[in-house]
Amino acid sequence: METISCLGTQKPGDRIAFEIYPQTADGRDRTPIRWRVLRSEGARLFLLSDQILDCRPYHEMQTAVTWANCSLRRWLNERFFLRAFSAAEQQLIQPILCDGRFADGNRVFLLSEEETHELPASCRGTTGTAYARSVRPGSRLYVYDKSVEENYSGAGDERVGCSWWWLR
């Protein structure tokens, strides 16, 4: 796995380590985040975290809401962005348009349904970190039906489960 000093030289399918976020159940660690390179366009990379890093509701209130107005978008681009990335790394992450709009604040975002269809099969399943799986007020990581074998992902013979992720 490469580190930030090599950013821009990767191709789709590569994995890199880019900044830190808690991954143990108690949340006291500062573990490098592993990212999958989905697309490479010159020095620009489109990355997806290797694991689900945290568990947050799509919106704080039970009401119909779009990606533009949901509390998860705000949390990702404010609290998560400031906690996970150093000031120098924040400068490397360029805002992009999501769904053709909302460039301001879209530095960290959820995949769209269309983007999930472009994922190679090896990137479609993931698990949550121990931190994401830890039970905290207002959060619970949903998992696939454990009785269905194809809902599991694993390393070698180890079955580690598989979790849902939100889409924008």
- Is 167 part of any domain? no
For residue 166, being part of any structural domain is answered with no
pLDDT at position 107, please?
A: 87
Counted domains in the chain: 1
What pLDDT does 64 receive?
Answer: 92
Q: What is the pLDDT of residue 79?
A: 92
Q: Note the pLDDT of residue 160.
A: 58
**What is the domain range of residue 96?**
4-161
Task: Answer whether residue 152 is part of any domain.
Answer: yes
**Mean pLDDT of all residues belonging to the chain:** 77
Which of these ranges, 27-41, 58-72, 98-112, has the smallest mean pLDDT? Answer: 98-112
Total-model pTM: 0.77
Tell me what pLDDT residue 54 has: 86
Taking the C-alpha atoms of residue 71 and residue 51, their distance in angstroms, rounded to an integer, is 21
What is the mean pLDDT of the segment spanning 23-42? 88
Cα–Cα separations (whole angstroms), residue 80 to 20, 54, 75, 120, 153: 10, 9, 6, 26, 26
Which is higher by pLDDT, 124 or 160? 124
Indicate whether 26 belongs to any domain.
yes
